[in-house]
Amino acid sequence: MFTTRRILGSSAKYLVSFPVWKPRAQLHYSRMSSVPRPLTAVCQVMATSDKEANFTACKQLVEDAKEQGASMVFLPEGFDYIGSSREETLSLSESLTGDIVSRYIQLARKLEVWLSLGGFHERGHDWETDRRIYNSHIIINDKGEIVTVYRKSHLFDVELPEKRISLKESAFTIPGPSLVSPVQTPIGKVGLGICYDLRFPELSLALQRHGAEILTYPSAFTVATGAAHWEVLLRARAIETQCFVLAAAQVGRHHEKRSSYGHTLVVDPWGEVLGDCGGEKPGMVLVEIDLEKVSSTRRNMPVQQHRRDTGFYHSLEKI
C-alpha cells in the first residue's frame, strides 16, 4: 500500500495519509497568493532486484502524482533496482539509451511531467573493458528529453563494524568527474546531488552560488546512518544554503543483507521539516514550492552577503 501526504501552503505541517487509489479532495492553495504555486511529489520506494516490479511501482507513484497536479516527481537512488551482490548489480546495469531510461522518457512525455531519477546504475564509458558503472542522477523534462545527468561525486566506502555496515561503492562505481549546473524546472532551479554527497557542504554551497533554489539528494541511507544523521544533515544543508531540500528515499528490506531507513523528507529554507514519509512503507510527499520563502529567508538573513572571500577561509593554511 502506498501512502500520500499533502503539504498545503508554504508553511503548513498538517499531513493527511491515505492509500493512493482512493478518491482525493481537491488541493487548496494558500490564500496568500491567487496564483497556484508549483506542486512537486517526492517519493519513497522499496526497490529490489526485480526491475519490472520496481518500474511498475514507480510508474504508479508518478501517475498518481500527476493526477494530483504535480509538475515534477522525484524518485530515490536505486529507483531502477538494488542488487544483492556486486555481480548482480553490474549485470542488471544499463546505458542511458537502454530500456529503463527509455521507458521513463516515454512516461514523462505521455504524462507531461518532469522527472528526477536519482541514482541510475549507468554503465561506464569503458564498460567493455573495466565493467564499472556510474551512479547517475537524470533529469527528464515534460517533453521526454534528458536535460542533464549528474554522476555521483562522493562514493560510500564505509566500514562500521559496530553497526554491521560494510559497503564499498568504489569497488564497482566510478566517481563522477564534476558537478553540474542547477537546472531550471517548473518548480524552480534545482541543484543535484546523490545520497552520500549530502555529507559534503562544499557541494551544496557550490550549487547555491550557481543559482540553486532547491537542492535534491535522492538516497538509500542505511538504517543505522539514517537514524543518526539523515534529518540533521538535510536540515543543515537547507539552513546553510537557504534552499528547499527535497530528499526522495528508499525504505525497507531490499534483500537479506540490506535495508534502507526511509523518511523521504522535504525541508524549507528555514530548516523546517514540511513533510516526512516515515520509515515503514513506500509513498510520497506532495508539497507546494513557494520560492518567495527562499527570497525572504535570504533577504532577512543575508548569509551569503556576509560570507568572506575564499582566500579568507584558506588563510589558516598559511599560518
DSSP string, 182-241: -EEETTEEEEE--GGGGG-HHHHHHHHHTT-SEEE--B--BHHHIIIIIHHHHHHHHHHH
Alpha-carbon span 312 to 242, nearest angstrom: 22
Query: How many other CB atoms are found less than 10 A from the CB of residue 113?
Result: 21
Q: Which of 3.60.110.10, 3.40.50.1980, 3.40.50.720, 3.40.50.80 is the CATH number of 3-318?
A: 3.60.110.10
Alpha-carbon 260 to chain mean position: 14
Q: Catalytic annotation on 257? A: no
**Whole-prediction pTM:** 0.89
pLDDT at residue 5, rounded to an integer: 58
How far CA 217 is from CA of 60, 131, 184, 274, in Å, comes to: 22, 26, 17, 16
Alpha-carbon span 260 to 258, nearest angstrom: 7
Q: Which of 43, 58, 195, 243 is catalytic?
A: 195
Q: Which of 77, 94, 213, 288 is catalytic?
A: 77
Q: Catalytic annotation on 77? A: yes
pLDDT at residue 4, rounded to an integer: 60
Tens place of pLDDT per residue across the chain (319 aa)? 555 655 544 433 333 333 333 333 233 333 344 567 899 999 999 999 999 999 999 999 999 999 999 999 999 999 999 999 999 999 999 999 999 999 999 999 999 999 999 999 999 999 989 899 999 999 999 999 999 999 999 998 787 888 777 777 888 999 999 999 999 999 999 999 999 999 999 999 999 999 999 999 999 999 999 999 999 999 999 999 999 999 999 999 999 889 999 999 999 999 999 999 999 999 999 999 999 999 999 999 999 999 998 888 888 877 7
pLDDT at residue 20, rounded to an integer: 37
Q: Catalytic annotation on 243? A: no
Mind giving me the DSSP string for 23-72? --PPPPPPTT-SSPPPEEEEEEE---S-HHHHHHHHHHHHHHHHHTT-SE
pLDDT at residue 34, rounded to an integer: 53
Q: Take residue 21 and report the three cell numbers written for it.
A: 487509489
How far CA 120 is from CA of 69, 79, 107, 218, 228, in Å, comes to: 25, 7, 16, 11, 26
Alpha-carbon span 241 to 215, nearest angstrom: 9
The C-alpha angle 6, 10, 14, rounded to 5 degrees, equals: 40
Beta bridge partners of 215: 191, 245
Alpha-carbon span 270 to 296, nearest angstrom: 10
SS3 294: helix
Write b or e for each residue in 199-220: b if 16 or more Cβ atoms lie within 10 A of its Cβ, otherwise e: beeebbbebbeeebbbbbbbbb
Q: What is the 3-state secondary structure (H, E, C) of 77-125?
A: CCCCCCCCCHHHHHHCCECCCCHHHHHHHHHHHHHCCEEEEEEEEEECC
pLDDT at residue 22, rounded to an integer: 31
pLDDT at residue 310, rounded to an integer: 84
Q: Which residue has cell 509513498?
A: 283
Q: Which of 43, 66, 94, 152 is catalytic?
A: 152
Q: List the domain boundaries for the chain.
A: 3-318
Rg (the chain; Cα; Å): 19
Parallel, antiparallel or unpaired: strands 146-151 and 157-160 = unpaired
Half-sphere exposure of 175 (CA within 13 A, CB side): 12
